[in-house]
Chains A and B, each alone.
Chain A
């Protein structure tokens, strides 16, 4: 990938460095945390309800006396894992359709364009509400709903990139020399498209986390007792005055995660020459 040639620039960019370090810290703490008996998120302890942050419970306890820190960390596992999976799926579908539509044009392209027209004019929340509304609110349904329309954005961006790349002189030369479609797609287009798309996906992942946790907050996604961040926040909102740590802990967790992804994505985007910012933002 292009990362190697960008390395000096990458290290110099404060956005990329801070985003990367923040994300690394979040992933490390989420994945290495051991849920020992003291920190079992499922344990019920009536004597320790609404404890403020202390040494034994660094982020305090909730209304059932459960440790908030371990809940938030477990929630992070769920949120990050599911959202990343959804994002990878979305990216895969999007790149495939985008390349096929952009390179071969024709009927696939026309179908994609009309899908873009229909799906992108609808706010993502509405589509999620439709699915949750008809098939019942659950994290699984929410993820399915999100995957169903989110790929269109990636397809649209990939298609735009492909339409540009195929006019680059070395690709035109390859076509004129007699390279097959297979060669063009897999040896020329795919490597050039994936780098920028991955960068874009880091920013989109942030957006996805916000959407999922927002809808879970409303009760349309993860259901209790799943400690998804949005659901945790929704759980704690009633006790805002009594125990503010209940909403601040998951809230700040979401904020930091999305922030790190955005910093990383934005920093990389401004370094990457393959994807012009204005093009991305027009989408």
Chain B
């Protein structure tokens, strides 16, 4: 019952969020300097002839783009097309943006997913070690390494790694399809660089859990460290940061822009950057909408996951009694 309510509540929230963001994007498109008609005419070299013909052509293009009606009508039309997964065609290639994005999505999904795995496993491993050695040398060392990695620009590390693994000792394959051979280095770079904040969060949460009564009681029963830390403390310690994992995964989707362009991966991030340089507004809009959709989906998922993981939420809708 609670789960159903939560699902409905979260769905409504997601819809509202989607609506607000769509409004924001639509406003931005309208606010953007320059006339899209000029770009289209410029790009397709249609503008031949005297001013009168150009004006006529412009009018025609404006009508084709649906720009000859009121803003509200335009917004409604736009939303209608969005609902049918019609994002329009790219100014550059003239192809459907949905299909272009769909072609590019697998690389980004692979990269973000793999980087997330790397990030979480590093964060978990070192977070647990650091928390168990609170204020001892191992903890300080991990913290110091964390600070060093946080300060390392991803583009610098990416370039260096590429130089080493692709050119000096070619074990990494720069060309080819989305595959492990192509993805392991970028995923590793992205995952390692984004792990320190997560690690510290896990460490702090675990240390807080260690002083809880149920851990003291568990020890008094005779439970060993492995079980206490691995099952009891970790379960309770990770609950409050589930949402952080969601935000992080979303961050990896977009944070991959730099990594994608360094490793020349055919992902949506690089597509967005290329579109910006080409002033391909429909393509940029498509990218932003896709990311929005992913972010909202992740939010929805994280919100619901509390209900599945935490019995208190599942049964009462509250964490406290």
Binding site for B on A (CB under 8 A): 15, 117-118, 120-123, 125-126, 129-130, 132-137, 206, 210, 213-214, 217-220, 230, 233-234, 237, 240-241, 244, 247-248, 251-252, 254-256, 258-259, 262-263, 266, 277-278, 281-282
Contact = CB atoms under 8 A, between A and B. Distances in A.
Contact of B273 (A118, A134, A220): A220
Contacts of A130: 25, 28, 284, 288
Contacts of A126: 254, 288, 291
A233 B204 contact: no
A210 B284 contact: no
B69 interface: no
Contact of A282 (B21, B240, B275, B277): B240
Contacts of A255: 151-153, 156
A240 to B, nearest CB: 6
Contacts of B167: 241
Nearest to B163: A240
A240 B148 CA distance: 23
Interface string B219-253: 00000000000000000000011001001001101
B284 A134 contact: yes
B284 A133 contact: yes
Interface of B: 17, 20-21, 25, 28-29, 31-33, 143, 147-148, 150-156, 159, 163, 167, 197, 200-201, 204-205, 208, 240-241, 244, 247, 250-251, 253-255, 257-258, 261, 272-273, 275-277, 281, 284, 287-288, 291-292, 295-296, 299
A146 B234 CA distance: 35
Contact of B153 (A244, A254, A266, A277): A254
A95 B257 CA distance: 31
Contact of B156 (A123, A133, A247, A278): A247
26 contacts: A123-B250, A123-B254, A123-B255, A129-B257, A129-B276, A133-B272, A133-B288, A134-B29, A135-B33, A206-B150, A206-B151, A210-B151, A214-B155, A218-B258, A220-B276, A233-B159, A240-B159, A240-B163, A244-B163, A254-B156, A259-B147, A266-B147, A278-B201, A278-B204, A281-B197, A282-B240
B16 to A, nearest CB: 9
Q: Chain B binding site: helix, strand, loop or mixed by DSSP?
A: helix
B295 A129 contact: no
A172 to B, nearest CB: 23
Nearest to B256: A125
A244 B160 CA distance: 9
A43 to B, nearest CB: 26
B291 A278 contact: no
B159 A122 contact: no
Interchain residue pairs A-B with the least CB separation, the first 10: A251-B156, A259-B151, A133-B284, A258-B151, A123-B254, A134-B32, A278-B204, A123-B251, A126-B254, A125-B254
Given A133-B272, A233-B156, A281-B200, A118 B151 contact: no
Contacts of A134: 28-29, 31-32, 281, 284
A94 B197 CA distance: 22
Contacts, number: 135
B17 A118 contact: yes
Contacts of A277: 200, 204
B187 to A, nearest CB: 17
A255 B148 CA distance: 8
B287 A278 contact: no
Contacts of B152: 255
B276 A133 contact: yes
Contact of A137 (B156, B244, B276): B276
Contacts of A241: 163, 167
Contacts of A247: 156, 159
A282 B163 contact: no
Contacts of A282: 201, 240-241, 244
B251 A213 contact: no
Nearest to B280: A133
A144 to B, nearest CB: 13
Nearest to B193: A210
B29 A210 contact: no
B40 to A, nearest CB: 16
Contact of A122 (B200, B240, B244, B250): B250
Contacts of B25: 130
A66 B291 CA distance: 41
A281 B151 CA distance: 17
Contacts of B201: 278, 281-282
Contact of B150 (A133, A135, A244, A258): A258
A233 B154 CA distance: 12
A78 to B, nearest CB: 16
B296 to A, nearest CB: 8
A281 B204 contact: yes
B240 A214 contact: no
Contact of B253 (A123, A206, A214): A123
A132 B276 CA distance: 7
A277 B253 CA distance: 27
A253 to B, nearest CB: 10
A218 B257 contact: yes
